[in-house]
Chains A and B, each alone.
Chain A
Amino acid sequence: ETGVTQTPRHLVMGMTNKKSLKCEQHLGHNAMYWYKQSAKKPLELMFVYSLEERVENNSVPSRFSPECPNSSHLFLHLHTLQPEDSALYLCASSQASGRSDTQYFGPGTRLTVL
């Protein structure tokens, strides 16, 4: 595997389900991100982890719960979602160096909430 991988690629869930999205980066980076991309809207930053510590929680509802067990893995735990949470969820990673570091994205998980 190379770059940033995400699983599953597609997910359909009911409003009462609990599911998790997984992201893995193979680039040796030390920062990881979750973004939400809705149709015709800019990417919205949800969470940032730097050196495995959460440094940003962008007013995201508590039904989204991130977890970063190490610098290569990132999870997004989902529970009691709403239909408006249907979107493409993107994971990214970068090497935090103090300058402006390029973020590399995974292919995304297309989430549909019924």
Chain B
Amino acid sequence: EDQVTQSPEALRLQEGESSSLNCSYTVSGLRGLFWYRQDPGKGPEFLFTLYSAGEEKEKERLKATLTKKESFLHITAPKPEDSATYLCAVHPLSGGYNKLIFGAGTRLAVHP
């Protein structure tokens, strides 16, 4: 069964304290892996798409990496405005259309 697990469930950081969020997946094959950011009471905001192992993408303080079994979202020198829930989703090969499987998310709190 296709599955996505995110860890930790919640993370508290001091401003400037770098860390990483993990997304582990079990799928028959991977079409793509997506990272989203979600603020309370709002819809998910797209951050990155990764398609193959070894691929990396960066945006400001965020960097996403992908291996054959997991993805990491690295946050460098975070600021309080980076506080949000970060969602990971995979599109398995078995999905004929764009059926994404989401993880439960990591709630990040960055304190000044």
Contacts and interface: CB of A to CB of B under 8 A. Distances in A.
Interface of A: 4, 6, 31, 33, 40-43, 45, 48, 50, 55-56, 88, 90, 92, 94, 96, 99-108, 110
A76 B32 CA distance: 28
A55 B31 contact: no
B104 A40 contact: yes
Interface in B37-67: 41-46, 49, 51
B32 A99 contact: yes
A114 B100 CA distance: 31
Interface of B: 4, 31-32, 34, 36, 41-46, 49, 51, 87, 89, 91, 97-105
Contacts of B43: 4, 6, 90, 92, 105-108
Given A42-B105, A90-B44, 14 more contacts: A4-B43, A31-B97, A42-B102, A43-B87, A48-B98, A56-B99, A100-B31, A100-B32, A100-B91, A103-B34, A103-B46, A103-B98, A107-B42, A108-B43
30 contacts: A4-B43, A31-B98, A33-B98, A41-B104, A42-B103, A42-B105, A43-B87, A43-B89, A45-B100, A48-B97, A56-B97, A90-B43, A90-B44, A94-B98, A96-B97, A96-B98, A100-B32, A100-B49, A100-B51, A100-B91, A100-B98, A103-B34, A104-B46, A105-B43, A105-B44, A106-B43, A107-B43, A108-B41, A108-B42, A110-B41
B88 to A, nearest CB: 10
Chain A interface secondary structure, helix, strand, loop or mixed?
strand
Contacts of A50: 97
B8 to A, nearest CB: 14
Contacts of A101: 98
Contacts of B34: 102-103
Nearest to B9: A40
Given A41-B104, A99-B31, A105 B98 contact: no
